[in-house]
Structure 1
Amino acid sequence: MMRRLRIGIRLAAMAAWLLVCIPAHLVIYGILRRRIVPPVFLGGIALIAGVRIDTAGKLARPRAILLANHVSWLDIPVLAATTGAAFVAHDGLADSKFLKWLCEMNDTVFIARTRRATVAHQVSQVREALDTMHMLVLFPEGTTGDGSALLPLKSSLLSAIEPTPEHVNVQPVLVDYGTAAREIAWVGDEPGLENFFRLLGRPRALPVTVRFLEPLAGTDLAGRKHIARAAQHALTRAIAG
């Protein structure tokens, strides 16, 4: 009963927060032509879900492509709250008109994982998103892991950032849920909606630390395979502590 009550309260709070943020976004974007509200909205979603965010290290500025590990849907609001970034997502999310609409408010770049002919268009989209948001997050594992180890990074998912745009940092970022990672991870055959409700029903606050690692440099940026290899090493070492 208490679990259902927590879920109901958090869902109602999220809905109310959405109703506040949509008109605020439309007004502010209409005047300033800047997407200020969407990262604030996502940060509020994380807070309502019980997440308590800390950071370690320094976010590379003014423009960066962030390569992050992927454990849960919570990674997105957590990273939005700490970086104000837009995201690269697979085009399957665009199948839902509502999700696509929400994602597009934050300049999400949808990429097709299997159609190589679209890479040139994706590169263009990435550069447009960087020009608008200055920060862009990719999850190069291509799926979610259990947080205890990093899955192999797929260099093919980095095609849209090859070659790396000028004056843009490429920075590995670890979303660290500590000992709670396995508990909240979205892995296996668990339906997405079931994972969503499971996390909303948690009785305790969920601490997470976003660890900004050193930006890649030199030969580590010499193509997507070098980038994937260097980011894999940096994130694996950070997970090991």
Structure 2
Amino acid sequence: MSAWLPVAPCTPGDCAYHEDAVRPPLAAAALLAAGCAVTLLGALCAPAALLLRQAHRDRLIRGWARAVVRAFGVRLRVTGAAVPSARPSAGELVVANHVSWLDVPLLAAVLPARMLAKSEIRSWPVLGAVAALAGTLFIERDRLRALPDTVRTLAGALGAGSRVAVFPQGSTWCGRGAGGRFRPAAFQAALDAGAVVRPVRIGYRTPRSDAAGAVAFVGDDPLAASLWRVVSAAGLTAEIHVLPQVSAVGEPDRRALARRAQSAVANESANLPPSSVHH
């Protein structure tokens, strides 16, 4: 097992289910078609978007990502610290807990950024090309020797003033319970670049309950099955809580910085004590 390849105990059979109200099959199918269509439209427009200035491109990405989320039948609720209209002049490392594939467009809808993603995504149809055009930083998770190069690449992007989004848990977790600890490698890049860290908490709810199971994309769960659960869940709301920035300056090492960021996220989740997510 490498530092980039932690194993979550979550499995589709145990975690990926929805017990609240569901949409009729025809309505769910219409949302599935709409979501895929909006996603494909973004893929087709991605090359032209590269010609825009960064501020204009960010606005376009936010609008498209929000449209993707809404097309799949998910409402978006953003709370917490105010998100600046322009990107920070220094690099910013956005770190969030990881539940689902849906986390990616949700972050893009609030904080457009270059993503850190596994190298396999580069070969995915349509989405792989979109990710590459968007400046995704690809990592080889199963090669520990590649880790130093990944940290240097990430530090270089942050040092150049980019905003980079990372899911430091290293894998998706179902959202129930504590989840995985934040791996410290990405935080070393923030320290090397003198970048700030922006913790973000992602959660999902329906009107009557927590909806983590409806959106959980864990283990060997097929993407098609996950998509169907999302569009079938009635009244699904994604909650993005943006936390205040954490400065890397003054932290003794990457592990301390990772613990500080994870404590911030943990304290915003179901009143879990920070200690519950450090093991």
User: Are 2:253 and 1:226 equivalent residues in the alignment?
Assistant: no
Partners of 1:128 and 1:15 in 2: CA distance = 34
> Which residue of structure 1 lines up, in the alignment, with residue 38 of structure 2?
17
Residue 203 of structure 2 aligns with an amino acid whose one-letter code is D
Which among 231, 234, 239 is matched to residue 209 of structure 1?
239
After superposition, what is the alpha-carbon deviation per residue over 1:159-202, rounded to whole angstroms, capped at 9, x for unaligned? Answer: 67253412x21121101214112332223543232112221222
Cα pair distance change 1:28/1:80, threshold 3 Å: closer
What is the correspondence of 1:88-107 to structure 2 with a 5 Å cutoff? 88-107=116-135
Residue 8 of structure 1 aligns with an amino acid whose one-letter code is A
User: Are 2:268 and 1:238 equivalent residues in the alignment?
Assistant: yes
Partners of 1:175 and 1:107 in 2: CA distance = 23
Residue 265 of structure 2 aligns with an amino acid whose one-letter code is L
After superposition, what is the alpha-carbon deviation per residue over 1:142-166, rounded to whole angstroms, capped at 9, x for unaligned? Answer: 1111213332324254267253412
Unaligned runs of 5+ in 2: 1-22, 272-279
8 Å CA contact 2:196, 2:248 repeated in 1: no
Structure 1 or 2: larger helix share? Answer: 1
8 Å CA contact 2:182, 2:262 repeated in 1: no
3-state SS of paired residue (1:155):
coil
Partners of 1:77 and 1:133 in 2: CA distance = 22
Cα pair distance change 1:235/1:220, threshold 3 Å: farther
How far did residue 234 of structure 1 move? Answer: 1.9
TM-score by length of 1: 0.82
User: Are 2:73 and 1:50 equivalent residues in the alignment?
Assistant: yes
> Which residue of structure 1 lines up, in the alignment, with residue 5 of structure 2?
none
Partners of 1:221 and 1:98 in 2: CA distance = 40
8 Å CA contact 2:190, 2:248 repeated in 1: no
Cα pair distance change 1:125/1:101, threshold 3 Å: farther
Higher alpha-carbon deviation: 205-214 or 138-147: 205-214
User: Are 2:192 and 1:148 equivalent residues in the alignment?
Assistant: no
TM-score by length of 2: 0.72
Residue 102 of structure 2 aligns with an amino acid whose one-letter code is L
Higher alpha-carbon deviation: 219-228 or 124-133: 124-133
> Which residue of structure 1 lines up, in the alignment, with residue 50 of structure 2?
29
Q: How many residues align?
A: 238
The alignment yields a C-alpha RMSD, in angstroms, of 2.9
What is the correspondence of 1:104-143 to structure 2 with a 5 Å cutoff? 104-127=132-155, 129-130=157-158, 134-143=162-171
How far did residue 101 of structure 1 move? Answer: 0.5
Residue 13 of structure 1 aligns with an amino acid whose one-letter code is A
Partners of 1:9 and 1:217 in 2: CA distance = 45
